[in-house]
Structure 1
Amino acid sequence: MSRHPDLQKFLDRYFMVFLAGYFLSLYAMAGTFSLVWSTYCRDCSREINYPLSLGVLVVTLVTAHAAVVRGRDWGVWMVAALCIGSVVFLLPTYGFRPHMGIFLSIIVVALLALLVLNSKRYRAMRVLLAEYRNKRQVERASKAQRPKVRRSR
């Protein structure tokens, strides 16, 4: 199965930077979630709160990345806010003396995710995705304005 040459060129150039941003933010969120629940929320009720908070975090992160893919600007701002929130929630856990390797790796990965989101290539990808979104909207509008021709039998 062959792909359209423009799509293949786009994927060759931007797919790895998108995956880097996705997996770095995913690792940062997972690590932060784990450390927060093992430090701040050690005595919290886990029957409802734990799966609910995990579900909200996963849905928010997936929605944000899906919005980036669909060409929405607010998606990358949500991902950036989650990464910044990761660092903000993570820093006070230092007082609980978590494993330093895990603690530092999560901070470094969250900061790397922010670096990837701010890279020139990621920004260029977002601009192209927004252009594709605008083209789709124009095509939908032109299809909606065309009169439908009824065929007689």
Structure 2
Amino acid sequence: MSRDPELQRFLDRYLLIFLAAYFLSLFAMAGTFSLVWSSYCRECTREIAYPASLAVLILALSTAHAAVVRGFYWGAWWVAGLCIGSIAFLIPTYAYGPHKMVFTSILTAALLGLLVLNSRTYRQMRIVLAEYRAKRRQERAGRDSKGRTPKP
């Protein structure tokens, strides 16, 4: 089975940058979540708050990256906001004495995630995805109520 050449060019050019942003933000969120719960929330009850906060974080991160894939610009702003929030929650945990390598690697992942989001290639990918979204919208508008394209 062969792929559409246009899709193959898109994947060859932009897949790695998208995966880098995804995994860097995922690592930053997971590490920050772990350090926050082991420092700030040491005494907190974990029956409801822990799984609920984890679910909210997973939902926010998944929604943001799915929005980027669907061509919505606000998705990248959510990812950037989550990375900035990760840094904002991470920095004060230094007072609790986390392992320096863990702290540094999480901070580095969040900063590299922001760097990747601000890269020219990632911005070009977002523009191309927004164009694909506009094409899909035009194709949908050209169909009749039963999903068929009218013949000229």
- CA deviation string 1:26-53 (max 9, x = no partner): 0000000000000000000000000000
1:129 matches 2:129: yes
> 1:44-59 alignment to 2 at 5 Å?
44-59=44-59
Q: How many residue pairs align between the two structures?
A: 149
TM-score after normalising by structure 2 = 0.95
> 1:130-149 alignment to 2 at 5 Å?
130-144=130-144
For residues 88 and 62 of structure 1, the distance between their equivalents in structure 2, rounded to whole angstroms, comes to 20
Unaligned runs of 5+ in 1: 149-153
TM-align CA RMSD? 1.7
Match of 1:151? none
> 1:65-104 alignment to 2 at 5 Å?
65-104=65-104
For residues 135 and 31 of structure 2, the distance between their equivalents in structure 1, rounded to whole angstroms, comes to 38
- CA deviation string 1:40-81 (max 9, x = no partner): 000000000000000000011001000000000010000000
CA positional deviation for 1:145 = 7.8
For residues 41 and 51 of structure 1, the distance between their equivalents in structure 2, rounded to whole angstroms, comes to 13
TM-score after normalising by structure 1 = 0.94
CA positional deviation for 1:144 = 3.4
Unaligned runs of 5+ in 2: none
For residues 87 and 100 of structure 1, the distance between their equivalents in structure 2, rounded to whole angstroms, comes to 15
For residues 79 and 113 of structure 1, the distance between their equivalents in structure 2, rounded to whole angstroms, comes to 9
> Residue type of the partner of 2:139?
E
SS at match of 1:109: helix
> Residue type of the partner of 2:18?
F
Structure 1 outlier segments of 4+, above 2 Å: none
For residues 77 and 108 of structure 2, the distance between their equivalents in structure 1, rounded to whole angstroms, comes to 19
- CA deviation string 1:9-36 (max 9, x = no partner): 0000000000000000000000000000
For residues 129 and 144 of structure 1, the distance between their equivalents in structure 2, rounded to whole angstroms, comes to 25
Which sits farther off after the overlay, 36-45 or 135-144?
135-144
> 1:20-31 alignment to 2 at 5 Å?
20-31=20-31
Percent of counterpart pairs with the same letter? 65
For residues 25 and 71 of structure 1, the distance between their equivalents in structure 2, rounded to whole angstroms, comes to 19
For residues 121 and 55 of structure 1, the distance between their equivalents in structure 2, rounded to whole angstroms, comes to 31
Q: Which has the larger radius of gyration?
A: 1
